Structure formats: structure tokens, C-alpha cells
Chain A
């Protein structure tokens, strides 16, 4: 309990640090939205009016204090570009991104674990080489090329023409499958290489440990060694990798997919906020991502205890 409380306390400091640095960057280096919001032939007074409305005339510390207040009260304001309340924007876009990313994320990791195990088990032999070559190939191809290739192959008359090229007209499970399949395949193709390489290294190390040799000496069946000793003992790094990928996957990982497949998720909204300097949206996304990291860090701590009793001691 004390450890969890300590993690949370550290988390608060982390959130303060992240929000401070990101806000500093937004204010000093971020785009000035004034000039995208003024009309043609604006007078200096009109420019000043817009700056005032955007709060650019306020001192930095006052603006930062306001940011913390907004985060604490979840009163996140409204987008400067569209006027939409940031809470409504998050409620509209985050579920879309989750639905888009979850299948690819899960499949990418499960496949990575399976292929990593296969490669580690057959280390140095053909199975290992094939998996390694395929992984490196998948890692070497640009995500953009993969997306376009999958679109052409699966969604256009030049290929199989089985799925929509783009869009997100989801009103049930069937339409969901229609729209999520191609982005998921593209995501799996790109991530499975990285995942396999990571998990392979992990399992190779585990396979080389004394307790595995001992189990083998005892004549334990290979399947038991695989599941009970290699996989189970690797759960802590696996959980760490998966858990800490979640916020990034939800926020940034989906940008290309959302953009090319025309999916109205949070990645797209964040990208637009970054490029246009829409600070209310950006502040909310950065702040809430930091909070998500803290919560995940705490949840990961609890999971460690379940997976490895030594951590609890």
C-alpha cells in the first residue's frame, strides 16, 4: 500500500513536470494561432483582440496555473479552432481510437510473443532465422508504404476490393469489422517485427537461465518449460512493455492510421491541435496522457505483485 501511495505521489510530481515542460514548449515554440484566426486585412487592434481572447497576453505563470486548475477540475475549456468543448471532443474521439487500436495492439503483441517464443526455442536454427528475417523485413518497411499497399491490395479494384478504403461508418459489430480490418492488418504488419525482436531477446535470455536447465535435467516436458517457466517468468517485462505502450498507442500511434483511413480519432485531433496551435486541446491531451501514465504505472506495480510474489515482499 505504501509503495502504491509512493508511486502516486511520484506520479503527481511527474504530471507537474510533464505539464510544465510541455506548456513551456507550447508557449515558446508552438504555433501562434492568432494568425490563423484573423481575417484578411486585419488591423493591429483586431490582431491584439484575438491575442487577448486566446490568453496570449497573460503572464506565463498565470497561464500555467490556469492549466493546472483546468486539469484538476477537468474543466478543459473549448477548442479555439472549432469551439467544441474539449471534454466532448475527447469523449467523441478516444473511444474511436481505442476501437481502432485495440485489435492491432493485441494481435501484434500476441503474434510477437508467439513468434518470439518460436525463435527463442529454435535459436540459431532455421525457425529462428526465418522469424528474424521476417521481423527485420517488417521493421524496415515504412508504415506509410504498408498502409497504402494494404489499401490497394485489399480495398481497391486493383486488388481484392474486399473492404472500404477509408471511413468509419460504424453502427454495429459487422460494420466495425469492415472498417477495422485493413488498419489492423497494417498495424500488425508494422508492429509485429519490433515485438518479435523484443520478445525473442527476452525469451532467449530466459531459456539460458539455470532453472530452465534444471527443469530440463529433471525431464520436464518442453511444453511445461515453455508455459510455466519461460513465459511465466518473462511476464514482468512483458507487462511492462504492454502497459507502458498503452498511452502512446492511444494518442500518437494511431495518427497515420487515422489520417490515411479517415478515422475521426484522438490521434487526428491531436495532430491538428499541434499543427494549428490549438492549446486547449493540446493541454488536455498532454495532461491527461501524463495522468494516464501515472495510473498505468500504479496499475503495473499492482500487476507485478500478482505475477511475482518477490516484488510484494
Chain B
């Protein structure tokens, strides 16, 4: 009997130890119950919170809340507009567009952390910005954001080649004094200020990076409105940074438009000091059903609604509106994505792309154009995007100011007759059509899209057995294949980094061919010439016209089947006052979210 008691006791002790080991410090454990909490669901998860690796929308949402960037996008202004964040004002730019001088606010401090002497956070200085930028060019950082400034800053490439010694100066990146930085560019780069509003451009303290090494990715130390309390594969918890600078919220400064945003109740926020919510609990819920159930059960305040639910939640598509029952509890925003989905032809593949023989080259062009004309964007939109995506010709998506709404729709309107004629005139028939290899990372949806593509092509006489899927277990494997030019048709998407069409035009710029971002390996001297000429130009009607010409060239060459911008349906609880955004504002809106006080339901 005694032995049994001992075993029972040992088991109980083991169980208690396990419980203690996984104490997550839940809401009841470490904060007053009256604290306001905003519970945000993401449909994916970041793996790293190091700004240098903030390469996806999920990582950016969190990093810009934990760290400071010099600039950000105004919370409410549409089209999107830059505004100073840690900078005192917009940059002073020299007449030749090469020198940017920026003054930092003097009242920003890093959070308290053992990385600092005495554990006390210190002021953010110009040197921190210089250090943070240099980090991107240190191979040890494994930066995923260095491409933004590659060959842009005077002396940076040489600094990296000399061994990336942080004590060595970079001539084009200097701290003029404690709070002033100056950046000298190699050539004018009008998008430079936009790059300073990316998660990649967040400012990190050298002490913390050196203390935590690789673990800095999970132990972020910044000066943003929040500090990290917990981060794992299921979610992250951010708590208000008590030392965050005092900057009262102003509707006018944030670009409030009463006509389109008056129904959101944002007026009550005027004059309040962000961050407006004590705690943000972010859940990473990739599974649509689980995300929807969590939202309906009131466990999260915000979700990007799964497309599978659109049927039951929307009472109308254009404009998107909630059913009356849901509208009682929830708000809706139909957010056109800042990017697009497209399928590129690998122009380096002589079976479908460029060919040294001019006759075959012309036949390949006819084949590509026939495929483009046979693609049914309406059905693609209806089946996969509930018919609320926006189809447009080319690569300047509707969210960009350079978008041309009057652009003809001949490249997105299905025309089977024209497609068949193109094939026939070029001498293509079922017997001699090349085998098409359509690449995609393995998933049910991607497979369904492939099958739909195959059925579209079947309608112009392309034998189904000649269109075969090229699947890859992971996106990384897929990327390796197309970056090594092994995929014939590349299905992909692009999320714009900043609201300037330059960001999408570079996708087809010849020198950016793989392993660069020009995955189609498109190479058109006229397109490249226009790109180079426009690259140093500030936004203007002339530049817009050049971009539109480039778009036209790309369409005429039939280098891509493009494209569609998806409409994201964002839902949130009426108890939370906010305007969510998955686009350029991203996580910059977290400090302005006003959530009700009290305990979550469970």
C-alpha cells in the first residue's frame, strides 16, 4: 500500500512539474483583469522577429509593433501616404536626390532589457540606425531585406567586402550627431523613404543583437509601442511598452475621411495617446475552420475571413456587405490586396520562351499568347476568389497609383476563337504542341488551380496529357526549382513592399533574372531601357506613362498570364474600434486599436 502511495505521489509531482514547465503566463497570471486586450488572428506565422528577416506579412505585422521605423504609413489615408514615425519630419533631400538627411525624435527609448547596463533601456540614437542598416550587409545576419538597399548606399558594398566590421565607417551612411543621420545614395532612388517604412528598416540596439545572437529572432528588444511577452508556434503576446513616447492621436494627421470611414467610430480616439490597448494577443491559426470557430466563439476579435465562409457571411459582393445577423456584432472591411497572383512563362525555356531561331521564336510567342487568351479569368475569380477579386491586365495592380483603369481588357478577356487562330496560324496542333510543365508547391488549392488551367487549355485543343503538374513538397523547393530555371510555367504571387509601381516593374527587369525576382527571365531591351530611365524619376505623369508603356510591352510579349488582386474580407468585433489593414499599413495600426477592457470570454 505504501509503495502505491509513493508511486502516486511521484506521478502527481511529475505532473505538477510538467504543469509548471508549461506555464504560459496566461492573461489571468500576469496582468490586471481590467487591462484592455485586442485578440488578433493571423492565418500564418512568422518564424523570426528579427527585423532583418521580416520578409512576410506576418513578421512585418509584429516587428513594426516591437521596433521603430523612421517612417510609417498613415493609419487611415487612402491612397497610402508616408508619415514620420521615429523621424521628426520627412527627410531633407538634396537637389540631386542623392543625400537624405533625417532627424530622429529625441524621446525614443529602447525597452528595459538585461542587454543594457543595469537592465535599463537607453535612448535610440542615430548610431542605432546606422548599425541596423549595416547589419543587412553582414552575411552573418542572413538578411532577407538587403535587396532593398543593394548597391544603393555609397560604400556599403565595399564595407561588406572588407569583412563587415561595424567599427569601420560606411561613407554613405553616417550619424551626423546623436539624432541626425545622413544617407548618401549611389544614384537617385525615389522610393528610398518608402524602404524606411518597411519592417526590414526597423532599428535594433547593437547590445541586444550581440548578447542574444541568433536568439535575437525570438527575444526582440526594440523601442516600438509594444514589447514581446510570449512567442511560440501558436501565437505571440505583446504588452504595452510603458516607456513609449507620447504622441497624441490625430484623425486629421492620419488621413481620416469622414465620408468613407465615419461609420467606424474612430472619432472617439482623437487626442488619446497610443498605444491604445494594453495587450495584444496574436494567434497564428492557419486552418480556416479553426480560425472561423475561434472568431465565432469570441476568442479572437479579428480574422481574415476564409473564402470558404464568404457564402454565409456576405449578403452582397459588390460592395461587400455582411448579413444582417453578423452585422449586428461585427464590422467588415473589404481590403484589396497590395499585390497580385500571376503565372509566368519561363522565357529562358526554348520550348515556350525565347528561341534562337526567329521562326520558332515567333511560334513560341503565338503559343504563349494563345494560352493567355484561353485563360478564363472570370472562372478563376469565381471559383477561387468568390468573384470579388479584381482582374486587371499586366503587372500594375489596382492598389498602385500608376494603375490604368482605362487599360483595355483584351489580355484578360477570354477569346477562344482568337486563341485557336493564333495556334493554327503558327502551325501548332495537338500533335506538335510542346508538353507544358506547370509548377506549384503542393497543396489542394494549387492542384485545383492546375486542373482548372488544364481544362481551360483543353478548350483550345491542348491535349490534357501534354499539360502536367510539377509539384514540390515545400515552397522552398519550388523556389529553388524556378530560381534555377527548371520550371516552365511558374505560378506565383507578389505582395508589394511599397505603394509604387517600381516595385512590380522590377519583377520583369532583365538584370533581375533568376536567381533574382524576375522569375520569368523576361528580357526586353526596350522594357529595360524604360525601367532604367524611370528608376531615378520621382512619381510624375511622365513616369506613370513610362510604366504603362512597359506594362504594354510585357502584355504584347505574352510573358505572363496576369493577373488578379484578391479582395480580403477582414472582420472584427464591434467592441474594438479600428480599421485593420493587411497591406502597407500592416502592423502599424496596432497602436491605434482601441479594445474594450476586461477578461476574454474563456
Closest A residue to B48 by CB, please name it: A82
The answer to whether A83 and B48 touch (CB under 8 A), given A37-B144, A39-B144, is: yes
Using Cβ atoms and an 8 Å threshold, which residues of chain A touch B517?
40-41
Using Cβ atoms and an 8 Å threshold, which residues of chain A touch B182?
none
Using Cβ atoms and an 8 Å threshold, which residues of chain B touch A275?
473-474
Q: How far, in whole Å, are A155 and B299 apart by their CA atoms in the complex?
A: 10
Whether the pair B476, A31 counts as a contact (CB closer than 8 A) is yes
Q: For residue A145, give the distance in angstroms from its CB to the closest CB of chain B.
A: 10
Partner of B213, one of A83, A99, A258: A83
Whether the pair A259, B286 counts as a contact (CB closer than 8 A) is yes
Q: How far, in whole Å, are A98 and B22 apart by their CA atoms in the complex?
A: 10
A164 in the interface (beta carbon within 8 A): yes
Q: How far, in whole Å, are A155 and B296 apart by their CA atoms in the complex?
A: 10
Q: How far, in whole Å, are A158 and B289 apart by their CA atoms in the complex?
A: 13
Using Cβ atoms and an 8 Å threshold, which residues of chain B touch A172?
19
Q: How far, in whole Å, are A260 and B395 apart by their CA atoms in the complex?
A: 37
Partner of A39, one of B21, B140, B145, B234: B145
Q: For residue B263, give the distance in angstroms from its CB to the closest CB of chain A.
A: 25
Using Cβ atoms and an 8 Å threshold, which residues of chain A touch B296?
156-158
Whether the pair B22, A165 counts as a contact (CB closer than 8 A) is no
Q: How far, in whole Å, are A24 and B290 apart by their CA atoms in the complex?
A: 36
Closest A residue to B473 by CB, please name it: A31
User: Digit string of A163-198 for contact with B (CB within 8 Å is 1, else 0)?
Assistant: 111111111110110100000000000000000000
Which residues B493-545 have CB closer than 8 A to chain A? 506, 512, 515-517
Partner of A173, one of B19, B140, B294: B19
User: Digit string of A33-65 for contact with B (CB within 8 Å is 1, else 0)?
Assistant: 111111111111011011001000000000000
Whether the pair B47, A42 counts as a contact (CB closer than 8 A) is no
B108 in the interface (beta carbon within 8 A): no
The answer to whether A170 and B293 touch (CB under 8 A), given A39-B145, A175-B28, is: no
Q: How far, in whole Å, are A50 and B140 apart by their CA atoms in the complex?
A: 9
A276 in the interface (beta carbon within 8 A): yes
Whether the pair A272, B476 counts as a contact (CB closer than 8 A) is no
User: Digit string of B132-145 for contact with A (CB within 8 Å is 1, else 0)?
Assistant: 00000001101111
Using Cβ atoms and an 8 Å threshold, which residues of chain A touch B150?
41
B235 in the interface (beta carbon within 8 A): yes
Whether the pair A169, B515 counts as a contact (CB closer than 8 A) is no
Closest A residue to B284 by CB, please name it: A262
The answer to whether A262 and B474 touch (CB under 8 A), given A167-B299, A168-B234, is: no
B475 in the interface (beta carbon within 8 A): yes
Whether the pair B26, A83 counts as a contact (CB closer than 8 A) is no
Whether the pair A83, B477 counts as a contact (CB closer than 8 A) is no
Q: How far, in whole Å, are A33 and B55 apart by their CA atoms in the complex?
A: 15
Using Cβ atoms and an 8 Å threshold, which residues of chain B touch A35?
476-477, 479-480, 483
Using Cβ atoms and an 8 Å threshold, which residues of chain A touch B283?
166-167, 262
Interface-forming stretch among B215-223, B344-352, B361-369, B406-414? B215-223
Whether the pair B214, A83 counts as a contact (CB closer than 8 A) is yes
Whether the pair A167, B234 counts as a contact (CB closer than 8 A) is yes
Whether the pair B480, A170 counts as a contact (CB closer than 8 A) is no
Using Cβ atoms and an 8 Å threshold, which residues of chain A touch B142?
37, 50, 53
Whether the pair A47, B232 counts as a contact (CB closer than 8 A) is no
Which residues A84-103 have CB closer than 8 A to chain B? 84-85, 91-93, 95-96, 98-99, 102
Whether the pair A83, B217 counts as a contact (CB closer than 8 A) is yes
B425 in the interface (beta carbon within 8 A): no
Whether the pair B515, A36 counts as a contact (CB closer than 8 A) is no
A277 in the interface (beta carbon within 8 A): yes
Whether the pair B474, A277 counts as a contact (CB closer than 8 A) is yes
A289 in the interface (beta carbon within 8 A): no
Q: How far, in whole Å, are A46 and B139 apart by their CA atoms in the complex?
A: 8
Which residues B21-47 have CB closer than 8 A to chain A? 21-29, 47
Whether the pair A99, B287 counts as a contact (CB closer than 8 A) is no
Q: How far, in whole Å, are A238 and B473 apart by their CA atoms in the complex?
A: 38
Using Cβ atoms and an 8 Å threshold, which residues of chain A touch B515?
38, 42-44, 47
B402 in the interface (beta carbon within 8 A): no
Whether the pair B512, A82 counts as a contact (CB closer than 8 A) is no
Q: How far, in whole Å, are A38 and B142 apart by their CA atoms in the complex?
A: 7
Whether the pair A151, B22 counts as a contact (CB closer than 8 A) is no
Closest B residue to A45 by CB, please name it: B139
Whether the pair A40, B147 counts as a contact (CB closer than 8 A) is yes
Partner of A92, one of B55, B144, B232: B232
Whether the pair A178, B217 counts as a contact (CB closer than 8 A) is no
| Chain B residues in the interface with A (C-beta under 8 A) | 15, 18-19, 21-29, 47-48, 50, 53, 55, 139-140, 142-147, 150, 213-218, 232-235, 283-287, 289-290, 293-294, 296-297, 299, 473-477, 479-480, 483, 506, 512, 515-517, 602
Closest 9 CB pairs of A and B: A169-B26, A83-B214, A39-B144, A264-B232, A95-B21, A83-B217, A35-B479, A36-B476, A171-B29
| Chain A residues in the interface with B (C-beta under 8 A) | 31-44, 46-47, 49-50, 53, 78, 81-85, 91-93, 95-96, 98-99, 102, 148, 151-152, 155-158, 161, 163-173, 175-176, 178, 258-264, 268-269, 272, 275-277
Sample of 23 A–B contacts (CB below 8 Å):
A31-B473, A34-B476, A34-B480, A38-B144, A38-B515, A81-B47, A84-B217, A85-B215, A148-B290, A148-B293, A151-B289, A151-B290, A156-B296, A166-B234, A167-B234, A167-B299, A168-B24, A170-B26, A171-B28, A173-B19, A258-B234, A259-B287, A262-B284
